[in-house]
Structure 1
C-alpha cells in the first residue's frame, strides 16, 4: 500500500506530524499541499491530509484542493488530521469535540474514513511581533501559556502513533 501525506502548515508542526506519520506508516510520500499538483494522486492507495488552524481558519488552499479533488478523495482510503492549540485541552481534542475540525468536516463534501485532531506547538520566539502579540492575547483568553520566551510542544505523539496505526488498517 502506497500512502501520500499532504500537509498545510504555517509554523511547521503539521509538517513535523506529517513526516512522523510517514515514518510510522512506511511506503509514504510527504508533500506540502501547495505543491500537490506535482503528485499523481491516482497512484496512491491511501491519501492523508493534515492542516493547521491559524487565527481560527484552515488555509484557503486546503478548501480549494478538496473541492477540486472531492470525487477522487471519496473513491480512496483517506484520512484527515487537524492541528490547533485548542486541542491541548481535554474535551477539545477529538474530531467530534474540536470546533474547528468538526465544522470543517461538516462543511466539505469529502468524507475521510478517519479523522483526528492533534494539539500543535506554541513557538513564541519564532513568531513575528504581531503574531506573538495576537497568540499571547488568544492564549490569555483561553488560560494558556503567555510567557513569550517559551516554546511548548503540546502534540501527543502517542496519539499520532495510534492514528498512524489506524491509517495502516485502511485497505
Structure 2
C-alpha cells in the first residue's frame, strides 16, 4: 500500500514532471502518481497524504479539477490534502506565493475545499511543442508580461529547490 498519492492535471506536461520529482523526493516505493483526468472510483481514504497539482491554461484550471474536488471533498478535507499550482506568471517574484497568485486566490474563492498547504510553481514554456494558435497566443501574453517571445525556445522556469521545500512541508 502506497501512503502518498499525487494527483495531477497537466496541459503540456510540466505539472506531471513536478509530480514525478515530488514522488522521487518522497520515495517512489511509498508514492503513487495518478492523472486526475483518468482516475475513476478512487478511494482516497486509504492514503495518509494527498497532493493535487494543476496547471493554468489561459487563466483557468481545467474544469475536471473542480469536478474531482466536488466528488472527493470529504476525503480531501479529512486528509488535510495539499495543492500546488503551476503557471508561467509564477516566474515573477511575488506571483509565486499563494497570497500573490491571482489564480490561487480565485481557486480558494471557487473551491469548496481549502488545502492545508499550497505551493505555487513556475511552469515551462515550450513554444515548439504548441499548436500554431497556442504559440501565437502564448507569445502575445508573454510579450505583454515581459517574458520570452522567441518561439524557437523552450524555457523551464520551475524552481526545483522550492518544490523540494514544499514536499518536505507537506510530508511532515
TM-score between both structures, scaled by the size of structure 2: 0.95
Residue in structure 1 matched with residue 87 of structure 2 by the alignment? 84
Query: Which whole-Å CA distance do the structure 2 matches of 1:156 and 1:99 have between them?
Result: 19
Residue in structure 1 matched with residue 140 of structure 2 by the alignment? 137
Residue 39 and residue 71 in structure 1: after superposition, are their counterparts in 2 closer, same or farther (change >3 A)? Answer: closer
**Once the 2 structures are TM-superposed, how far is the Cα of residue 34 of structure 1 from its aligned partner?**
1.1
* Mapping for residues 1-171 of structure 1, pairs under 5 Å: 2-26=3-27, 27-37=30-40, 39-169=42-172
In the alignment, structure 1 segments of 5+ residues that lack a partner are: none
CA deviations on 1:75-121 (whole Å, 9 max, x unpaired) are 10310000000000001000110100121022211121100100000
CA deviations on 1:54-84 (whole Å, 9 max, x unpaired) are 0000000000000111111101031000000
Query: Which whole-Å CA distance do the structure 2 matches of 1:5 and 1:120 have between them?
Result: 17
Please say if residues 6 and 51 of structure 2, whose CA atoms lie closer than 8 Å, have aligned partners that are also in contact: yes
Query: Which whole-Å CA distance do the structure 1 matches of 2:164 and 2:100 have between them?
Result: 20
Please say if residues 25 and 167 of structure 1, whose CA atoms lie closer than 8 Å, have aligned partners that are also in contact: no
CA-atom RMSD in angstroms: 1.0
Please say if residues 14 and 50 of structure 1, whose CA atoms lie closer than 8 Å, have aligned partners that are also in contact: yes
TM-score between both structures, scaled by the size of structure 1: 0.96
> Which moves more between the two structures, 64-73 or 81-90?
64-73
